[in-house]
Amino acid sequence: MSDDLPIFDTLLLGGTMMDPASGRNGRWDIAIKDGTIAAIEPDLSQHAADTRFDLSGRIVIPGMIDTHAHVYQHVTGKFGLNPDMVGVRSGVTTLVDQGGPSCMTIGGFRHFLADTAASRLLCFISCYLVGGLEGHYYPELYGPNGVNADHTIRVARQNLDIVRGIKAHAEIGGQSRWGLDVIRTGKQISRETGLPLYIHLGQLWPVADDGRVPDPDELIRELLPIMEEGDILAHPFSRHPGGFVSESGEIHPIIFEALDRGVRIDVGHGSHFSFDVARRVLDAGIRPFTLGADLHGYNVRVPQPGMASDEKAGNPFSGVAPFSLTIAMTELLALGLTLDEVLATVTTNPAIMLREEARLGALAVGREADISVIELLNGRFKLSDNSGAQVLAEKLVRPVMCFRAGRRFEADSPLIPDAIAA
C-alpha cells in the first residue's frame, strides 16, 4: 500500500455490487469515511483503511428498506416488535412503521424509538386516533368516530421529517359496519397533507352482528376509484376475502385500471401471503412495486420477560419463529421474479415511494453509507405460506451485515432462520 493514498474508515472489497438505481452490476469496491460513501471503484484494495472486509461471493446493495413494519414497541401491545431486531440486526437499514403512531402518539414514536434506534425509522401515520393498537381485537375503535382529520393533518404536517404517508384499512369487517367512510376521510387527510394513502386489503375483523355479509368484490369496486396516483395497495397476495382475486377466482379488472393511473402495490407479507394467490396475480402480469415483511408480535414468537434460560444465554429474543424481509425476498424469487426485480422492491422503489430518492435506495459517492450485504445460497429450501402450503426454492437470500451511516451491524437477528433446507 502506498503511504500517500487516502485513509478510509472502512473498505468493502471484492463484492458484487448490485444497485438497481444506477444499473451497476459487477465487481466494485466501496470506501466509507465519516459515515459517508467516499469512493466506489473497481479496485480499492491498495488503499489504507482502519477496517477491511473481504466480500468475495457476497452481494453489496443499497441499504434495504422494509416498507411495512410494526415496531412501535410497548405502545402497540404485542403488535410492536423491537425495531433493531427487525432492522439493522436483520440487514435492513430503514423501517417504515405502518400505522403504529397516530396524531396522539407520534411524539412517543419519535422520542422513544426514531431518536434512539440504530435503524432509521419512518412511518405512515394512522388515520385512526388509536393508531396501531391491537385493533384486530377492537374494530369499534376504527370507525368514523375514531378519526379526527383536522388533528391528523396538523400533526402529520408538523412531523414531515418522519411521516411519509397515511395508513387506513379497507376490509369487509369494517365495510359491514360503516362502509368506506373512513377511507374517504383517509383520502382527505392524504390530499391535504400531500402524502400517499396506504390501504390494507384483506379481511381483518369479523363482520357486524346484523347478519349482513358484504360482497368483497363490491369493496374493491368502491375502493379503487377513491385512490390516486402514488397511493398504495397492500397485501396483493392475500388469501383473505376482499383482495385482488374475486370470488370467481379472477383478478378484478378494476385493479388494472388503478395501476394504469399510478396506484402502487406493496406486498405487505405478514399474515396475508398465499403462494396460490401470488401466482394468479403474477401470471396476470401484475408486479409488486415494493416489498414489506409486515412482521409483528402475532406472526412471530417473541419470548416474554422471565424466560430465564434465554436471558442467561445472553439472547433475549431466542425462540422467535424465523421470518425476515430476506425470506420474503426468497419467496418472490421462487415465484419467478428476477433478482434485479426483487432487489428493486427493497431499495430503489421504496425510496421512490417515500420520496427519498435523494438519500435512500442507491449507492453513490457522497451519500450516507447505508449499505446491505447479502448472500445468495444455492440448494433446496422449504418455504411455507400462511395457509400452510409449501414450495421448494433453489435460491435463498440471506443477510450478512449492514452499514447504517457507516456503522456496521452483524445480521444476527433471531428472525433470520438458521437453516430451512429441505
What residue ranges of the chain are covered by domains with CATH 3.20.20.140?
63-353
Q: Is 82 left (phi over 0), alpha (psi -120 to 50) or beta?
A: beta
User: pTM of this prediction?
Assistant: 0.94
DSSP output for 241-265: SSSSB-TTSSBPHHHHHHHHTT-EE
Task: For the domain made up of 7-61+367-410, give the CATH fold.
Answer: Urease, subunit C; domain 1 (2.30.40)
pLDDT tens, residue by residue, 138-178 = 888 888 999 999 999 999 999 999 999 999 999 888 888 88
What residue ranges of the chain are covered by domains with CATH 2.30.40.10?
7-61+367-410
pLDDT tens, residue by residue, 371-411 = 999 999 999 999 988 888 899 999 999 999 999 999 999 99
Is residue 318 scored above 50 in pLDDT? Answer: no
Confidence of residue 315 (pLDDT cuts 50, 70, 90): very low
The closest alpha carbon to 112, from 83, 70, 151, 135, belongs to 83
pLDDT tens, residue by residue, 108-121 = 999 999 999 999 99
CATH number of 63-353: 3.20.20.140
Other C-beta atoms closer than 10 Å to the C-beta of 288 total: 25
Q: Could you tell me the three cell numbers for 377? A: 445460497
Q: φ and ψ at 209, to 5 degrees? A: -80, 0
